[in-house]
Amino acid sequence: MPDLSGKVVAIIAGDYVEEPELVGPRDRLREAGAEVRVLSRDGSPIQAAEGDVTPTQKIETDGAYADLDVDTIDALVVPGGTVNADHLRVDQRAQTLVRKVAAADKPLAVICHGPWLLVSAGLVEGRRLTSWPSLQDDIRNAGGDWVDAEVVVDRKLVTSRKPDDVPAFVEAIERLLTS
Protein backbone atom coordinates (compact mmCIF):
# COMPACT_ATOMS: atom_id res chain seq x y z
CA MET A 1 0.00 0.00 0.00
CA PRO A 2 1.42 3.42 -0.91
CA ASP A 3 2.00 6.08 1.72
CA LEU A 4 -0.41 8.95 1.09
CA SER A 5 0.45 10.83 4.28
CA GLY A 6 0.06 14.55 3.71
CA LYS A 7 -2.29 14.10 0.74
CA VAL A 8 -5.79 15.55 0.91
CA VAL A 9 -8.60 14.06 -1.18
CA ALA A 10 -12.11 15.47 -1.42
CA ILE A 11 -15.14 13.37 -2.35
CA ILE A 12 -18.28 15.21 -3.47
CA ALA A 13 -21.66 13.51 -3.44
CA GLY A 14 -25.34 13.82 -2.69
CA ASP A 15 -28.20 11.61 -1.66
CA TYR A 16 -28.49 8.22 -3.33
CA VAL A 17 -24.80 8.04 -4.06
CA GLU A 18 -23.81 4.45 -4.81
CA GLU A 19 -22.41 3.44 -1.39
CA PRO A 20 -19.40 1.31 -2.46
CA GLU A 21 -18.24 4.05 -4.85
CA LEU A 22 -17.97 6.54 -1.97
CA VAL A 23 -17.10 4.29 0.98
CA GLY A 24 -14.57 2.14 -0.92
CA PRO A 25 -12.31 5.00 -2.08
CA ARG A 26 -12.79 6.90 1.21
CA ASP A 27 -11.72 3.98 3.36
CA ARG A 28 -8.87 2.75 1.13
CA LEU A 29 -7.37 6.22 0.74
CA ARG A 30 -7.61 6.80 4.51
CA GLU A 31 -5.91 3.45 5.15
CA ALA A 32 -3.06 4.65 2.93
CA GLY A 33 -2.68 7.77 5.09
CA ALA A 34 -4.59 10.39 3.08
CA GLU A 35 -6.89 12.90 4.71
CA VAL A 36 -10.24 12.34 2.99
CA ARG A 37 -13.00 14.95 3.18
CA VAL A 38 -16.53 13.95 2.22
CA LEU A 39 -18.53 16.96 1.08
CA SER A 40 -22.21 17.37 0.20
CA ARG A 41 -24.06 20.26 -1.40
CA ASP A 42 -24.90 21.92 1.92
CA GLY A 43 -22.79 19.95 4.40
CA SER A 44 -25.64 17.70 5.56
CA PRO A 45 -25.24 13.92 5.83
CA ILE A 46 -25.61 11.93 2.61
CA GLN A 47 -28.10 9.09 2.15
CA ALA A 48 -26.16 6.30 0.44
CA ALA A 49 -27.82 3.62 -1.66
CA GLU A 50 -27.18 0.27 -3.26
CA GLY A 51 -28.31 -0.37 -6.81
CA ASP A 52 -29.56 3.23 -7.08
CA VAL A 53 -32.76 2.68 -5.10
CA THR A 54 -32.15 0.73 -1.90
CA PRO A 55 -31.19 3.11 0.94
CA THR A 56 -28.23 1.98 3.03
CA GLN A 57 -26.38 4.14 5.54
CA LYS A 58 -26.28 7.88 6.19
CA ILE A 59 -22.74 9.14 5.60
CA GLU A 60 -21.47 12.01 7.71
CA THR A 61 -19.79 14.86 5.84
CA ASP A 62 -17.03 17.32 6.50
CA GLY A 63 -18.80 20.31 4.99
CA ALA A 64 -20.19 21.73 1.78
CA TYR A 65 -18.42 21.38 -1.54
CA ALA A 66 -19.30 24.96 -2.43
CA ASP A 67 -16.84 25.99 0.30
CA LEU A 68 -13.99 23.84 -1.02
CA ASP A 69 -10.81 25.66 -2.04
CA VAL A 70 -9.17 23.58 -4.78
CA ASP A 71 -5.75 24.78 -3.61
CA THR A 72 -6.25 22.81 -0.37
CA ILE A 73 -6.70 19.38 -2.01
CA ASP A 74 -4.53 17.02 -4.02
CA ALA A 75 -7.37 15.14 -5.78
CA LEU A 76 -11.14 15.08 -6.21
CA VAL A 77 -13.32 11.96 -6.38
CA VAL A 78 -16.85 11.92 -7.82
CA PRO A 79 -18.76 8.69 -7.09
CA GLY A 80 -21.81 7.58 -9.05
CA GLY A 81 -25.31 6.46 -8.41
CA THR A 82 -27.84 7.63 -10.97
CA VAL A 83 -29.73 10.03 -8.68
CA ASN A 84 -26.57 11.48 -7.13
CA ALA A 85 -24.96 12.01 -10.53
CA ASP A 86 -28.09 13.53 -12.04
CA HIS A 87 -28.22 16.11 -9.23
CA LEU A 88 -24.50 16.88 -9.39
CA ARG A 89 -24.51 17.41 -13.15
CA VAL A 90 -26.96 20.33 -12.95
CA ASP A 91 -25.33 21.94 -9.90
CA GLN A 92 -23.30 24.93 -11.10
CA ARG A 93 -21.09 24.76 -7.99
CA ALA A 94 -20.18 21.14 -8.73
CA GLN A 95 -19.48 22.00 -12.37
CA THR A 96 -17.26 24.90 -11.33
CA LEU A 97 -15.41 22.70 -8.86
CA VAL A 98 -14.51 19.99 -11.40
CA ARG A 99 -13.46 22.65 -13.91
CA LYS A 100 -11.14 24.19 -11.30
CA VAL A 101 -9.63 20.79 -10.44
CA ALA A 102 -9.03 20.06 -14.13
CA ALA A 103 -7.53 23.53 -14.70
CA ALA A 104 -5.21 23.01 -11.73
CA ASP A 105 -4.07 19.71 -13.30
CA LYS A 106 -4.94 17.70 -10.20
CA PRO A 107 -6.24 14.13 -10.26
CA LEU A 108 -9.97 13.98 -10.96
CA ALA A 109 -11.42 10.51 -10.37
CA VAL A 110 -14.97 9.82 -11.54
CA ILE A 111 -16.85 6.52 -11.50
CA CYS A 112 -20.08 5.00 -12.82
CA HIS A 113 -22.68 7.72 -13.60
CA GLY A 114 -20.32 10.44 -12.26
CA PRO A 115 -19.06 11.35 -15.77
CA TRP A 116 -22.41 13.08 -16.37
CA LEU A 117 -20.91 15.92 -14.31
CA LEU A 118 -17.92 16.02 -16.66
CA VAL A 119 -20.23 16.16 -19.69
CA SER A 120 -22.25 19.02 -18.20
CA ALA A 121 -19.08 20.86 -17.17
CA GLY A 122 -17.65 20.65 -20.71
CA LEU A 123 -14.67 18.50 -19.70
CA VAL A 124 -15.13 15.47 -21.97
CA GLU A 125 -14.16 16.69 -25.46
CA GLY A 126 -10.96 15.05 -26.65
CA ARG A 127 -10.68 12.84 -23.56
CA ARG A 128 -10.65 9.05 -23.30
CA LEU A 129 -12.81 7.70 -20.49
CA THR A 130 -15.18 5.01 -19.30
CA SER A 131 -18.40 5.03 -17.28
CA TRP A 132 -21.52 3.03 -16.67
CA PRO A 133 -22.36 1.80 -20.20
CA SER A 134 -25.58 3.84 -20.52
CA LEU A 135 -23.51 7.06 -20.52
CA GLN A 136 -21.48 6.16 -23.60
CA ASP A 137 -23.77 8.10 -25.98
CA ASP A 138 -23.60 11.21 -23.76
CA ILE A 139 -19.81 10.98 -23.64
CA ARG A 140 -19.43 10.42 -27.38
CA ASN A 141 -21.91 13.23 -28.15
CA ALA A 142 -19.79 15.53 -25.95
CA GLY A 143 -16.68 14.67 -27.99
CA GLY A 144 -15.19 12.03 -25.70
CA ASP A 145 -13.75 8.65 -26.61
CA TRP A 146 -15.74 6.13 -24.52
CA VAL A 147 -14.18 2.71 -23.90
CA ASP A 148 -15.40 -0.28 -21.92
CA ALA A 149 -12.58 -0.87 -19.42
CA GLU A 150 -12.21 -1.40 -15.68
CA VAL A 151 -10.24 1.82 -15.33
CA VAL A 152 -9.08 4.45 -17.81
CA VAL A 153 -6.43 7.05 -17.01
CA ASP A 154 -6.19 10.00 -19.42
CA ARG A 155 -3.54 12.33 -18.02
CA LYS A 156 -4.98 13.23 -14.57
CA LEU A 157 -8.51 11.98 -15.30
CA VAL A 158 -9.33 8.57 -13.82
CA THR A 159 -12.62 6.89 -14.72
CA SER A 160 -14.21 3.53 -13.94
CA ARG A 161 -17.52 1.82 -14.72
CA LYS A 162 -19.09 0.36 -11.58
CA PRO A 163 -18.67 -0.75 -7.95
CA ASP A 164 -16.75 -3.88 -8.98
CA ASP A 165 -14.07 -1.58 -10.46
CA VAL A 166 -13.42 0.28 -7.18
CA PRO A 167 -10.13 -1.54 -6.37
CA ALA A 168 -8.59 -0.66 -9.77
CA PHE A 169 -10.08 2.85 -9.53
CA VAL A 170 -8.43 3.48 -6.16
CA GLU A 171 -5.10 2.02 -7.32
CA ALA A 172 -5.08 4.46 -10.24
CA ILE A 173 -5.79 7.37 -7.86
CA GLU A 174 -2.98 6.22 -5.58
CA ARG A 175 -0.54 6.03 -8.52
CA LEU A 176 -1.35 9.61 -9.54
CA LEU A 177 -1.00 10.86 -5.96
CA THR A 178 2.45 9.26 -5.60
CA SER A 179 3.88 10.10 -9.03
* Domains annotated on the chain, with CATH: 8-178 (3.40.50.880)
Q: pLDDT for 38-66, tens place per residue?
A: 999 999 999 999 998 899 999 999 999 99
Annotated catalytic sites, by residue?
113
> Around Cβ 69, how many Cβ atoms within 10 Å?
8
Residues 100-145 have pLDDT tens digits of: 999 999 999 999 999 999 999 999 999 999 999 999 999 999 999 9
Q: What is the pLDDT of residue 1?
A: 81
Q: Find the length of the chain.
A: 179
- How far is Cα 101 from Cα 173, in angstroms, rounded to an integer? 14
The mean pLDDT of the chain is 97
